[in-house]
Amino acid sequence: MLGVSVRRFATSVVRRSHYEDGPGKNMPFSVENKWRLLALMAVFFGSATVAPFLIVRHQLLKM
C-alpha cells in the first residue's frame, strides 16, 4: 500500500518536472550571446591564472 502511493508520487513528480531540451539548455549560464560568454569565460579563467601572481606580489611587498 505504501509502496504504491510512493510510486504514484514519484511518477507524478517526474511528469511535472519537464525541462527544455537542446544544447545549452542544461547549463547555469546563457550561451545565446557569444560575446558575453567570451567575456565571462575570460574573466573566470583569467582570474584563476592571475591570482597566484597577485598573491606572490602581495607577499613580497609585505616584507
- What's the pLDDT tens digit per position in 34-58? 999 999 999 999 999 999 999 999 9
On whether residue 8 sits in a domain, the answer given is no
- Total domain count for the chain? 1
Collect contacts of 30-37 with beta carbons under 8 A, ≥24 apart.
none
On whether residue 13 sits in a domain, the answer given is no
Q: How far apart are CA 54 and CA 61, in angstroms?
A: 11
Q: Which residues contact 29 (CB under 8 A, 6 or more apart)?
A: 37, 40
On whether residue 55 sits in a domain, the answer given is yes
Query: For the whole prediction, is pTM greater than 0.75?
Result: no
Structural domain span for residue 41: 31-63
- What's the pLDDT tens digit per position in 17-33? 666 677 777 788 888 89
